[in-house]
Amino acid sequence: MTAKLISGIEIAKEIREELTVEVTELREKHNIVPGLVTILVGADPASQSYVAAKNKTAKALGINSEQMTLDVDTTEEDLLKLVEKCNADPAVNGILVQLPLPKHINEANVLIAIDPAKDVDGFHPINVGKMVLGEQCFLPCTPHGILEMLTRSGVETSGAEVVVIGRSNIVGKPIANLMLQKRDGGNATITLCHTRTKDMAAHCRRADIIIAAVGVPKMVTADMVKPGAAIIDVGVNRIGQASNGKAILAGDVDFDAVKEVASCITPVPGGVGPMTITMLMKNTVQAAKMAANLI
């Protein structure tokens, strides 16, 4: 039986409809309009595209969105001054500095300079610490999106064996931590695999849920998947170019083969990707509510 598709496009649309209601209520009942600032240093095409998508989504939801684009040779000092200005602006609820930054700027210095109450990416050490402790905070957007995809698709996580492939600070480590917590989408038993894992296939074959976030095209093959497992593919890998010039993309999972073994699976593209920006918007709305003491 072919696996059911977990569509990030459809789930993101559902969440955005919920957010539209929240934003409308904030405006009409409390005269509050959530505000998001995105800071882009340089002209990296992928970063420009991503920031443009964020601004477009924010405006569609009724969130005030401002993009600040700086020259690639902007100094770290000047960038930090801009972050501090946004920290002090009550109209700004969320601050997002688009990564990667030019090599002459220390990313850690910039991320830690963002007010944790406006850190809608969920990367500030204070928010990371609160996440690990299970306290209220801004969850990192991609892991949060994965949780929403699992719960809204009816995938049982409580007591499930989950294998996470990849130990990045952005996806692997946080999703592993969140899924072992006592929470919706949690209460799972976690195995975190990485480049030094011995016999990764053996770990995967006992998993009820596999989350692949390693950046290696089609690394998870059908013989690594237990029949009926749920598959979340975070990878977006460019493997070629079509005749029309568009990139040919593949995930970390061999989709065509694995879909014949799994019970449900995310596609690439159209899976986890659309969820990341949506969860950024959710964090921005949460930040506006927190600033107004509504939560």
Write 66-69 long-range contacts (CB < 8 A, 24+): 66/35, 66/36, 66/37, 66/38, 67/37, 67/38, 67/39, 67/40, 68/37, 68/38, 68/39, 68/40, 69/40, 69/41, 69/43
Tell me, yes or no, if 13 is annotated catalytic.
Answer: no
Tell me, yes or no, if 54 is annotated catalytic.
Answer: yes
User: Which of the 8 DSSP states describes residue 246?
Assistant: P
Residue 256: name the closest of 5, 48, 72 by CA.
Answer: 5
**Of 13, 29, 44, 54, catalytic:** 54
Residue 232: name the closest of 253, 205, 261 by CA.
Answer: 253
Partners of residue 94 on adjacent β-strands: 36
**Of 118, 119, 121, 252, catalytic:** 121
Tell me, yes or no, if 246 is annotated catalytic.
Answer: no
Dihedral sign, CA of 79, 85, 86, 88? positive
Pure H helices in the chain: 8-30, 45-61, 76-88, 107-113, 125-133, 141-152, 172-180, 200-205, 255-258, 273-291
Catalytic residue ranges: 54, 98, 121
